[in-house]
């Protein structure tokens, strides 16, 4: 495993980071607690010391399972990344930006983007209890909230840093202007944004800015929620309440299938999986600090970690980039 300094912070994070959205179960067709905990522990055993989660993932369940999973380990050698700002329990009293209705076992749960000073403090205290820890290595705002001044949100963050409850702060899904506004109050260590072979829009403006400002990019959805594994072209069925039934529809399926077929030749020659090839490519892109990889069981977790066990040569990277360039 490779460990990287996150932007201007003092944090050293594993290049492959455990992404804990799926194990929460919400929007992912449920979860198996035993498998989920084993996947976290298998990741740690393979050198993945960094775990990224959020209160919204399973409405607290993801954080709770991570808190349980890391008990046997030395907390000082594990980096916990979590977030705030997506409210589902009605505690916002209708304030904030309505985001969407999440499916919770057939029940619609309204989700709001809400990052008032009071709510930030409240959510962090709840996360600390679920994670069974007294500090968070990297706290992140989950999504921008247009109803709360960024300065107010950052004042809460500054207080948490002073109290020692968080070591560093990052944003998520922020554009350049929003980061610049946040930086007036708090040092921004990172920006967590979607990035993949099929979604490279951040390369035009965000990456040049974050590189210049020494802000690390945390790439989420590098596998496009499993689409780039290729298994969904092999009659793999999704549960009815899995959000990917609609999500995958935004891509040209034939083009994605062709890309996977082209990359398979290289993967086979290197005795690696398509998933490992995709993850490794992502870690090598300019400005990318760490890459989130989800896992539902120990086998997937081990495979993700082993994406750092090989290198890609300049000619291999050229081959991959040429294949990607054919996607319209």
Which CATH number does the domain housing residue 33 bear? 3.20.20.100
- Is position 321 within any domain? no
Q: Is residue 260 part of a domain?
A: no
Residue 19 lies in a domain: yes
Boundaries of domain holding 125: 3-248+271-308
Strands 16-19 and 79-84: unpaired
Query: Look-up: residue for tokens 């050229």?
Result: 318
In the chain, the number of structural domains is 1
Global pTM?
0.92
Question: What are the Cα distances from residue 165, in Å, to 51, 56, 73, 85, 159?
Answer: 17, 20, 20, 17, 9
Count of alpha carbons within 13 angstroms of residue 33, beta-carbon side: 6
What is the CA 319 to chain-centroid distance, rounded? 27
> Would strands 79-84 and 107-113 be described as parallel, antiparallel, or unpaired?
unpaired
Decide if 285 is inside a domain. Answer: yes
Q: What is the pLDDT of residue 255?
A: 85
- pLDDT at position 250 is 75
Is residue 314 a part of any domain in this protein? no
Task: Tell me how crowded residue 107 is: count the other CB atoms within 10 A of its CB.
Answer: 8
pLDDT of residue 26: 60
Residues in contact with 264: Cβ distance below 8 Å, sequence separation at least 6, in sequence order = 230, 274
Kindly name the residue from 57, 114, 195, 232 that is annotated as catalytic: 57
Contacts of 95 (CB under 8 A, 6+ apart): 112, 114, 116, 147
Q: Which of 228, 300, 278 is nearest to 18 (CA)?
A: 300
What are the pLDDT tens digits along the chain (328 aa)? 999 999 999 999 999 999 998 886 565 555 678 988 999 999 999 999 999 999 999 899 999 999 999 999 999 999 999 999 999 989 999 999 999 998 777 788 899 999 999 999 999 999 999 999 999 999 999 999 999 999 999 999 999 999 999 999 999 999 999 999 999 999 999 999 999 999 999 999 999 999 999 999 999 999 887 788 877 765 566 565 566 656 666 777 888 888 999 999 999 999 999 999 999 999 999 999 999 999 889 999 999 999 999 999 999 999 999 999 988 7
Count of positions (residues) in the chain: 328
- For residue 265, is it within any domain? no
Q: How far apart are CA 296 and CA 57, in angstroms?
A: 13
Q: Specify the pLDDT at position 128.
A: 98
Cα(66)–Cα(69) distance, rounded to whole angstroms?
5
Q: Let me know if 280 is exposed, middle or buried by CB neighbors in 10 A (0-12, 13-18, 19+).
A: buried
- Determine, yes or no, domain membership for 149: yes
- Residue 114 designated active-site: no
Q: Do the domain assignments include residue 266?
A: no
């Amino acid at each position: 495993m490779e460990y990287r300094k996150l932007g201007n912070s003092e944090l050293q994070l594993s290049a492959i980071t455990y992404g804990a959205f799926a194990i929460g179960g919400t929007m992912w067709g449920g979860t198996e607690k035993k498998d989920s905990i084993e996947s976290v522990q298998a990741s740690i055993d393979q050198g993945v010391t960094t775990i990224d989660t959020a209160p919204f993932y399973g409405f607290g369940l993801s954080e709770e399972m991570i808190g349980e999973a890391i008990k046997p380990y030395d907390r000082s050698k594990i980096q916990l990344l979590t977030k705030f700002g997506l409210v589902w329990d009605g505690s916002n009293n209708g304030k904030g930006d309505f985001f969407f209705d999440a499916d919770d076992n057939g029940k619609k749960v309204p989700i709001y983007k809400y990052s008032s000073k009071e709510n930030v403090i409240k959510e962090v205290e709840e996360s600390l209890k679920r994670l069974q820890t007294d500090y968070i290595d990297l706290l992140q705002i989950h999504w921008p909230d247009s109803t709360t001044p960024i300065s107010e949100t950052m004042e809460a963050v500054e207080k948490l840093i002073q109290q020692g409850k968080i070591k560093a702060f990052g944003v998520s899904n922020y554009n350049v202007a929003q980061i610049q506004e946040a930086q007036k109050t708090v040092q921004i260590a990172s920006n967590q944004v979607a990035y993949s072979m099929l979604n490279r829009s951040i390369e035009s403006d965000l990456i040049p800015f974050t590189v210049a400002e020494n802000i690390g990019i945390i790439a989420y959805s590098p596998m496009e929620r499993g689409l780039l594994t290729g298994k969904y072209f092999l009659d793999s069925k999704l549960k009815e309440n899995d959000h990917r039934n609609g999500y995958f529809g935004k891509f040209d399926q034939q083009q994605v299938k062709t890309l996977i077929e082209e990359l398979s030749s290289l993967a086979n020659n290197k005795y690696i999986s398509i998933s490992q090839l995709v993850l490794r490519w992502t870690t090598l892109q300019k400005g990318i600090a760490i890459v989130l990889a989800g896992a539902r069981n120990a086998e997937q977790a081990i495979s993700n970690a082993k994406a750092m066990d090989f290198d890609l040569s300049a000619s291999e990277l050229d081959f991959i980039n040429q294949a990607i360039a054919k996607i319209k």
